[in-house]
Amino acid sequence: MNVLDAEFVLGFMRMANDGWEQGWHERNGGNLSYRIKPEEVNSVKEQFVPKQWEPIGTTVPKLANEYFLVTGSGKYFRNILIKPEDSVCIIELDDKGENYRIVWGLVNGKRPTSELPSHLMNHEVKMSVSSGRHHVIYHAHPTNVIALTFVLPLKDEVFTRELWEMATECPVVFPDGIGVVPWMVPGGREIAAATSELMKQYDVAIWAHHGMFASGEDFDLTFGLMHTVEKSAEILVKTLSMRPDKLQTITPQNFRDLAVDFKVSLPEKFLYEK
């Protein structure tokens, strides 16, 4: 099968374009990666032309010999639909999880996303804590979430509670809450380690003054998760622009009642009295 005809590649391209149309990927901002299933690898493997091995910049032994579809460094999300072979690539990891090589894509040169260490460290964590169900890691620059990192305390409890209150569906969509990473230089091992530590608890991590990381089982769930968080952030930004306090909101007991009806578990640390 031609790589560009594979369902997982088409889903990847659609999700990337959806993010572009939301306005989350200015210039070459953001990145996306997908851990390819063995049967999907086998369906396109005949098209692979392996290049030389390169160091990942970190070690992810639990991902040894795995394949990933990832966006390229310096590539624009707006071009993924029209120039996929130039914009994305499939990489293979070695048997120690220390090196990668491109086996398809990026036909005009370049490397995988500069955030590759963050993506792979987060894939390793989410694969473990989800019993292998999670396959997608998505990083974008949603405007309203970023704006809130300048005015809210950079605490998991605050961001989770404020965003839960903005839309009733939020505690159902992300019942475990949201983690927050203070500002760090992007692309290195330090921010990758901080994010992957949060991903042991959460499916969403916010990078202060930068953007958001989200993890999910498939493209629809992962995009929907980020979309929900950003819409909630937009409502909060609009609310704060009208007045500094809320006349009414969803209470801790309301959340507990919601959890019972929707059969989700909401950590009590987010249901504090204000």
Mean local confidence (pLDDT), 24-40: 97
Helix (H, G, I), strand (E, B) or coil at 253: helix
Q: Is the pLDDT assigned to residue 141 strictly greater than 90? A: yes
Q: Given 115, 165, 230, 234, which residue is catalytic?
A: 115
- Active-site residue flag, 115: yes
Position 187 scores a pLDDT of 76
Position 173 scores a pLDDT of 97
Mean local confidence (pLDDT), 82-102: 97
| Global confidence as pTM | 0.94
DSSP 211: E
- Please write the tens of the pLDDT for every residue from 170-193: 999 999 999 999 999 887 788 888
Helix axes 116-129, 189-198, angle to 10 degrees: 20
Q: Which two tokens stand for residue 189?
A: 């091992």
Cβ-in-10-Å burial (0-12, 13-18, 19+) of 144 comes to middle
Position 188 scores a pLDDT of 75
Q: Is the pLDDT assigned to residue 135 strictly greater than 90? A: yes
- Please write the tens of the pLDDT for every residue from 200-228: 999 999 999 999 999 999 999 999 999 99
Residues of the chain with pLDDT > 90, as a percent, come to: 93
Q: Is the pLDDT assigned to residue 109 strictly greater than 90? A: no
CA-based torsion, 220, 78, 180, 146: positive or negative:
negative
Q: Which two tokens stand for residue 51?
A: 């290049």
Mean local confidence (pLDDT), 262-274: 95
Q: Which two tokens stand for residue 270?
A: 């987010």
Pairing of β 179-181 and β 204-207: parallel
